[in-house]
Amino acid sequence: MKTCKKCNETKSLELFSKNKASKDGKQVNCKACNKAHKASIKEETKAYGKVYYNIPANKAAKKASDKAYYEAKKLPYHIVYALPDFRNDERAYCGVTDNPHYRMARHKQQGNNTQGWFILGVFVDREEALIAEDKYHEQGYCGAKHWEKS
């Protein structure tokens, strides 16, 4: 048991996050207090981020770090993937990516449901993947049409 410095409640140790630097290996404030604090400064943090990333050097550093992260997770081929229930209305979506790790994170950010995503096809050539994707769209999968047959 440990007493939280913030709310003064005595709680079980699992209710405190880890802190390697402290004697008992736990943070001084309980998880609930940390969560409440984080929520209370959310707008402030957002405003700070806006100012911070408006500075060209910081913006460039973030862009470079995002790009390095993207490159590290990139596959040497293009996959046609499906989200079976992407808007939680049982409609399936399909898309193409060479970076499913990044793509699924983006889908989540956009409020889509990525649960149960699966691979419909794997292609070395991106155009071939897009053509395959459009065939799935014709079969009823949602998503943007990328490839127009000429």
Question: Judged by CB under 5 A, which of 27, 33, 86, 94 binds Zn ion?
Answer: 33
Q: Which of 108, 109, 131, 110 is nearest to 120 (CA)?
A: 131
DSSP readout, 118-141? EEEEEESSHHHHHHHHHHHHHTT-
Stretch that binds Zn ion, among 33-41, 49-57, 102-110, 112-120 (CB under 5 A): 33-41
CA 106 to chain centre: 5
As measured in angstroms, the least distance from the Cβ of 107 to Zn ion is 35
Q: DSSP secondary-structure letter at 107?
A: H
Stretch that binds Zn ion, among 2-10, 82-90, 91-99, 121-129 (CB under 5 A): 2-10
Nearest to Zn ion of 10, 58 (CB atom): 10
Q: Is 6 in the site for Zn ion (CB under 5 A)?
A: yes
Stretch that binds Zn ion, among 22-30, 42-50, 56-64, 106-114 (CB under 5 A): 22-30
Stretch that binds Zn ion, among 27-35, 45-53, 82-90, 131-139 (CB under 5 A): 27-35
As measured in angstroms, the least distance from the Cβ of 19 to Zn ion is 14
Cβ proximity of 91 and 142 under 8 Å = yes
Beta bridge partners of 2: 11
Which three-class secondary structure state does DSSP give residue 29? coil
What span, in angstroms and rounded, lies between the C-alpha atoms of 17 and 26?
6
Cβ proximity of 126 and 98 under 8 Å = yes
Question: Judged by CB under 5 A, which of 27, 30, 82, 123 binds Zn ion?
Answer: 30
Q: Which of residues 104-123 bind Zn ion (CB under 5 A)?
A: none
What residues line the site for Zn ion (CB under 5 A)?
Answer: 4, 6-7, 30, 33
